Structure 1
Amino acid sequence: MSIVPSLDDWNRQSVNVMQAMLGMISPNFRMVTLDHDGTQWIIGFVLESVNAEDREELADFEAEWDALQSGPTPRDLQVSFTAGSLAWPSAPTRALYRRREVMLIQE
C-alpha cells in the first residue's frame, strides 16, 4: 500500500533526522537527505570515504531515529561513498545537510 506523507509528516521526520544526527557529523559527511518512496522513509548519507568511526555513528543514528518515532516507522538507511561532484537532490527529496565545498572552475 502506497501512502503520501503530509507536510506535517515531512517536517516531523526532517526534525527527527536532524535530532538523531546531533553530534555525529564529521568532516567526512558530505550530504544527508530525506525521501519517501510511498512505503518507507529513505534517509541517505553521502560520505567522502569509508571510515569505521562514521560507520559506528550511522549505527547509533538508526537507534536514535527509531527512538524518536511514535511507533514502528518503516525506513531504509542508504549510505554511499564518493569524492566526486554531488548533484542537488530533486523534489520531493529534502537535503537536510550539505557541507560547504569549494568548486574549482576549469577554464
Structure 2
Amino acid sequence: MNMAAKLKAWNFQVLMLVQAMLGAVTPNFRMVVLSREGDIWVIRFYLEKNIEDDICEIEDIICQYTAYQDSDLKCKSEILVGHEALPRLSEADRVVYRRKE
C-alpha cells in the first residue's frame, strides 16, 4: 500500500470513529486513541472511573463504528480505567479525543 492510500485509510478510520462518538462522550472520558497493530485497528478508551453507563456507551460506539465499515474490517477495543498520567503515544497513534486535564 502506498503512502497516499495509507493516509486515506487512516483518515477514513478517524472520521468514522469521530462520527460514532458523536453525543456519546461524557466527562468521564479522558482520551480515545486509534492505533493500528498489523491489520487490526485498535481503539483505546481511557476513562477516569468505571461507570457502567460509559461502558455501555463504548459498546455503542464500537457497534456504530463497525457499522460504517465493510465486512473485512478487523478491530478491537480496550478500556483502561484510572487516574494515572495518560501515556505518551507513538507517532503511529492518533488521539481522536482528549479532555483538558
- Superposition TM-score, scaled by structure 1 size: 0.86
**Corresponding position of 1:94:** 94
The 5 A counterparts of 1:27-42 are 27-42=27-42
Provide the rounded CA distance (Å) in 2 between the counterparts of 1:19 and 1:6.
20
Distance in 2 (CA, whole Å) between partners of 1:15 and 1:86 is 23
Query: How far did 1:37 drift?
Result: 0.6
Name the CA distance, whole Å, in 1 between partners of 2:12 and 2:39. 17
Q: Structure 1, residues 1-31: CA drift from partner, whole Å, max 9, x if none? A: xxx9711000000001100001110000000
Aligned CA-pair RMSD = 1.4
In structure 2, what residue type is equivalent to 1:12? F
Equivalent residue of 1:76, what SS?
strand
Q: Which residue of 2 aligns with 1:105?
A: none
Q: Who is 1:76 aligned against? A: 76
SS at match of 1:87: coil
State the identity as a percent. Answer: 35
Distance 2:88 2:70 in 1: 30
Q: List runs of 5+ in structure 1 lacking aligned partners.
A: 102-107
Taking the aligned partners of 2:43 and 2:93, their CA distance within structure 1 comes to 10
Aligned residue type for 2:64:
E
- Per-residue deviation at 1:43? 0.5
Aligned-partner SS, 1:97: strand
- When the two structures are aligned, how many residues end up with a matched partner? 98
Aligned counterparts of 2:10 and 2:94: Cα–Cα separation in 1: 9
Distance (whole Å) between structure 2 residues aligned to residue 68 and residue 32 of structure 1? 18
- Counterpart of 1:19, as a letter, is Q
Alignment of 1:16-31 (within 5 A): 16-31=16-31
Higher RCO (CA < 8 A, seq sep 6+): 2
Q: Which moved more, 1:16-25 or 1:62-71?
A: 62-71
Q: CA deviation at 1:88?
A: 3.2
Offset of residue 89 of structure 1: 1.3
